[in-house]
Structure 1
Amino acid sequence: MAVIDRLTELTRPTGEEDLLDVSYPTPRLAVTPKQAVIAAAVVVVAVAVWAVWFLQRPDPVEPSLAALPEVGQEATPGEETDEIVVSVVGAVEKPGLITVPAGSRVADALLSALPLLDADVTALNQAQLLVDGQQIHVPARPEAPAHDGAPEAQPPAGSGLVSLNSADVTELTTLNGVGEATAQAIIDHRTSAGGFTAIEQLQEVKGIGPAKFEQLKDHVGL
């Protein structure tokens, strides 16, 4: 018989061996499978809630160094302001920079600049809204053009001469040979030419030839 078979034969239990009396401890807490499943579900839900909160929480805002004022320097106010500055020039008593509330109009700036008597404020849109940095130029009324060399002198009183530069149709028709049509032609000519500067210019009027001029020259003046 082989050694191994002999050893197997010797170690085979015969049923007559004495069994050790071992006392195993009874567990204090017994967990049923249902309770274990419930506990595991609670843990899973808690972990899921924590994960959602962690992912959705806002990131902490770190102050920007560029937004912080330097030491000893006051913070710069915001871009929004309640006042604007405009420039008013031209025919005004107080030209220069004027500070007005935001939302003001050209008329408000004119109240501060005080337009002169000859200022032509009608050339401006006084309802226009002002913007910061805008310049308003107030023009002056143009002077009435003077007659180039046209004499303003009137015929002496009692001379009996009719003024070619001031007589109306009625006065001109008092001249011998001058009807309403010729009188109107004289007035139209002096209006377009800017007045008579010499009696001889009467010959330039339509309807007055050399013969009629000789008839009128001693009865008219400038």
Structure 2
Amino acid sequence: MERWKQLVIGLLVVLFLGVGYLFYQKEPEQRMVDEFVMEPNEVTPTTSPERMELVVYVTGAVESPNLYTVPEGARVGDVLSLAVLTDEADPEQLNLAQLLVDGVKIIVPKKGETPISQDSPSTEVETNGVHVNSATKEELMTVPGIGPAKAEAILNHLKANGPFKTYEALGDVKGFGEKTLESMKPYLLVP
């Protein structure tokens, strides 16, 4: 009987070692979620038609003035966290919640400095116009001559064709003739 117990214990040890070896050799499962990491100087083409990447330039009171590639829908605050603000920076002079637009330049002012005029996106008519590529329907409707139908036409054109590169490209939107474009020019910003 003593020999029989030793044999059973030996088999159990071999079995546990074999199972442990199989688990040890098994490759870890791949992650199901892709991670997106924003890196400076990483300028890559759009990976899918649904998710566009934007390239913005951040300069001024930041530790790393540079070009940054961010996903569509990123905000000024998102890219400033990558550029790292200096102790002298005055981010209160910027709209950190503003949606970014491809090709924009963000100049971070120092404390006590008057903000430098920059081509950052603007969505208020009082600040020289509505940025057509990032405006909402309601913001577009603040422009004289744009009602719900024209605002919707602009947004549909943006979805189908991407951002406007020039002011003249607005002429491709249904209902925007030469006279209409001329009357709206002081109120609309296009890169």
**TM-score higher than 0.5:** no
Taking structure 2 as the reference length, the TM-score comes to 0.43
* TM-score, scaled relative to structure 1: 0.37
Please tell me whether Structure 1 or Structure 2 has the larger radius of gyration of its CA atoms: 1
